[in-house]
A and B are shown apart, each in its own frame.
Chain A
Amino acid sequence: MMTLLRERVACSLAERLDQAPHPVARSADAGCPGSRGAARAKMAVDGLDLWYGDYHALRDVSLEFPEHQVTALIGPSGCGKSTLLKSLNRMNDLVEGCRLEGTVSLDGHDAYRSVSVADLRRRVGMVFQQPNPFPMSIYDNVAFGPRTHGVRRRDELDEVVERSLRAAAIWDELKDRLKKNALGLSGGQQQRLCIARALAVRPEVLLMDESTSALDPLSTAKIEELVGELRRDYTVIMVTHNMLQALRVSDRTAFFLGGEVVEAGPTDGLFTSPVDPRTADYVAGRFG
């Protein structure tokens, strides 16, 4: 997996260096290993407008998130990346005075009308910027979601906890201390525990909001590698401040500015040959 990742990075960086940006239409598949052809949209937003009180935070956003791909959302801070992410699993419902128009869909069904909130949040899991394990044991953290959704049997819970921790690549580190409090773990371990906790309810989509920005480089690398593997079973949508990270782990990238999507497409293409001059400026580090 790691070698595949490195190849991809090397490949896209080479492209980035070799090709001058040129505004031409691109095919969905840029020819790098890892980027894939057109896949079914697991989630989509269409004509989404969102207001916090009077503040118009998202303007006519339309995006598709293909199944089993990693989509990165990039852009300067305050441009609405987290806002979009939170409207995908209705976390914005908790914000006083937040109002939205347009549609968010999951598997083609309206995520706000044809699914219950609890069900939507089970199917669309979220990992936050700061690791936020609950003040309870590692085991109980992972079992929290399944218990919420009615799993009570001990053997079933044991199985889910092990499977989830394995999926988050942290089982070997934690298997002997499942009864210990989760707050005693390092930041990187906590974040992987939070990923395991999100995976425990068998979500279909995983939302990650700058989930490595509070971590050291080594933990970041582990989580990036993990995300690369998670794409096999899940659809991942991640916000990142780090363009190299988007380049390393994502298949598709959407660039946001002032609440609007400026450009979206396959990651390699977006970085090497952005269509919009603002994207080119941002990717080249000229602003933001």
Chain B
Amino acid sequence: MGSRSRSAASHSSVAPLRRRASSLLLRGLAYAGAAVTVLTLGSLVVFVLVNGVPHLTPSLFSGEYTAQNVSLVPALAGSLLMAGAALLLAVPVGVGAAVYLVEYARRGSRFVAFVRVTAETLQGIPSIIYGLFGMLLFVSALGWGLSLASGACTLALMVLPVIMRTAEEALLAVPDAYRQGGFGLGAGRLRTVARCVLPSAAPGILAGVVLALGRCLGEVAALLFTAGTVAQIPDFGGSGALGLLDSCRTLAVHLYVLVGEGLHLDEAYATAVVLLALVAGLNALASAAAKKMRKGSAL
């Protein structure tokens, strides 16, 4: 009896202390996590800039790639073409699928849940698997060879679940009041979705597209087997749409090849600077667009 009351008393005096200690610990962990994140990013950027910027020579930007100048222009064009084509395919399909799942399919239906789980699973699959799949389907079965088209389709498949899931979340976050307002005025579902729902989901959808863009620009594994590594700008001038069947390399692949060859490490760093700038620039552009959209819709 006595020992019990004593332990209870000591417990009550120790508890706040312990609570304070654990909150201190948690706060310490949070700060440590933040510090590691910021320092990693900072040192990575500084490292790349220090090693790369001095080697940003004019010859790197000459139009034609040769073994001497290791020009990155074809790869830069390749990155833009590849990511652009992949998003051109994946965004309409992904957003369309999300619109169907949220606005048209019966809420809480088994089918919707199934598609959602599938998309989540696909998001977790390593990109090299997409590469193998793309090689079997686009390169071999469809006979497109190592090409811009095969690469872009593979990337599109890879980012489709990302775009679909983020668009779905963005649509789910739109208040039902907008839908009711549209329907209440006699508008049909299409008009209600297009004019009342999509505009307020647009910033969220755009965030998903930016995420997908980042993955396209950074992807190597899925492209090695599907787009190849030829350092040329696809020839749309000479062969028109057949340029889609030309092999090309993106900046990330270019970087990988340069490092792999081991002959042009300085140029590899310079390429990394350009890739970093490209990603940062496109991100800034997208967030400016999202801000503008938000301002248009919120203020």
Are the C-beta atoms of A144 and B185 separated by less than 8 Å?
yes
Bound Cα distance A91, B179 (Å): 11
Give the contacts of B245-291 with A (CB-CB under 8 A): none
Pick the interface stretch among A123-131, A223-231, A243-251, A266-274: A123-131
Are the C-beta atoms of A89 and B187 separated by less than 8 Å?
no
CB distance from B78 to the nearest CB of A (A): 38
- Closest partner residue, chain B, to A146 (CB atom): B185
Which residues of chain B have C-beta atoms less than 8 A from A133's C-beta? 181
Contact of B185 among A94, A130, A135, A197 (CB under 8 A): A197
Are the C-beta atoms of B106 and A96 separated by less than 8 Å?
yes
Which residues of chain A have C-beta atoms less than 8 A from B185's C-beta? 121-122, 125, 144-145, 148, 197-198, 201
Are the C-beta atoms of A128 and B180 separated by less than 8 Å?
yes
Which residues of chain B have C-beta atoms less than 8 A from A23's C-beta? none
Contact of B196 among A89, A119, A134 (CB under 8 A): A134
Give the contacts of B63-119 with A (CB-CB under 8 A): 106-107
Which residues of chain A have C-beta atoms less than 8 A from B177's C-beta? 128, 130, 132
Interface status of B17 (Cβ within 8 A of chain A) = no
Contact of A121 among B178, B184, B296 (CB under 8 A): B184
Task: Give the one of A125, A133, A144, A183 with max B CB within 10 A.
Answer: A144
**A134-B178, A144-B195 known; A181 and B183 CB under 8 Å?**
no
Bound Cα distance A197, B187 (Å): 13
Bound Cα distance A126, B182 (Å): 10
- Closest partner residue, chain A, to B189 (CB atom): A94
Give the contacts of A5-43 with B (CB-CB under 8 A): none
Interface status of A47 (Cβ within 8 A of chain B) = no
**A91-B180, A132-B178 known; A183 and B106 CB under 8 Å?**
no
Interface status of B298 (Cβ within 8 A of chain A) = yes
**A91-B180, A134-B181 known; A145 and B297 CB under 8 Å?**
no
Are the C-beta atoms of A181 and B299 separated by less than 8 Å?
yes
Are the C-beta atoms of B299 and A128 separated by less than 8 Å?
no
Interface status of A184 (Cβ within 8 A of chain B) = yes
Are the C-beta atoms of B186 and A181 separated by less than 8 Å?
no
Give the contacts of B136-190 with A (CB-CB under 8 A): 175, 177-188
Are the C-beta atoms of A132 and B180 separated by less than 8 Å?
yes
Are the C-beta atoms of B186 and A96 separated by less than 8 Å?
no
Are the C-beta atoms of A134 and B195 separated by less than 8 Å?
yes
Are the C-beta atoms of A136 and B191 separated by less than 8 Å?
no
Give the contacts of A167-205 with B (CB-CB under 8 A): 181, 183-184, 194, 197-198, 201
CB distance from A17 to the nearest CB of B (A): 39
CB distance from A21 to the nearest CB of B (A): 38
**A91-B180, A96-B106, A148-B191 known; A183 and B298 CB under 8 Å?**
yes
Are the C-beta atoms of A96 and B107 separated by less than 8 Å?
yes
Interface status of B200 (Cβ within 8 A of chain A) = yes
Interface status of B214 (Cβ within 8 A of chain A) = no
Are the C-beta atoms of A148 and B199 separated by less than 8 Å?
no
**A96-B106, A135-B199, A136-B199 known; A201 and B186 CB under 8 Å?**
yes
Bound Cα distance A6, B183 (Å): 36
CB distance from A178 to the nearest CB of B (A): 15
Contact of B181 among A117, A128, A184 (CB under 8 A): A128
- Closest partner residue, chain A, to B181 (CB atom): A132
CB distance from A226 to the nearest CB of B (A): 18
CB distance from B41 to the nearest CB of A (A): 34
**A134-B196, A135-B200 known; A91 and B188 CB under 8 Å?**
no
Interface status of A4 (Cβ within 8 A of chain B) = no
Are the C-beta atoms of A91 and B107 separated by less than 8 Å?
no
Contact of B297 among A122, A126, A149, A181 (CB under 8 A): A181
Bound Cα distance A132, B178 (Å): 6
Which residues of chain B have C-beta atoms less than 8 A from A134's C-beta? 178, 181-182, 195-196, 199
- Closest partner residue, chain A, to B298 (CB atom): A183
Interface status of A118 (Cβ within 8 A of chain B) = yes
Which residues of chain B have C-beta atoms less than 8 A from A183's C-beta? 297-299
Give the contacts of A90-106 with B (CB-CB under 8 A): 91, 94, 96
In the complex, given contacts A94-B179, A118-B186, what are 16 additional A-B residue pairs having Cβ atoms less than 8 angstroms apart? A91-B180, A94-B180, A96-B107, A117-B186, A119-B186, A121-B184, A121-B185, A132-B175, A132-B181, A135-B200, A135-B296, A135-B297, A144-B185, A181-B296, A181-B297, A181-B298
Q: List 23 A-B contacts (CB under 8 A).
A: A96-B107, A119-B186, A120-B186, A121-B185, A121-B186, A126-B180, A128-B184, A132-B175, A132-B180, A133-B181, A135-B199, A136-B195, A144-B185, A144-B187, A145-B187, A148-B185, A148-B191, A181-B296, A181-B298, A197-B181, A198-B184, A201-B185, A201-B186
Nearest 9 A/B pairs, CB to CB:
A132-B177, A135-B297, A121-B186, A145-B185, A126-B184, A122-B186, A118-B186, A148-B187, A132-B181
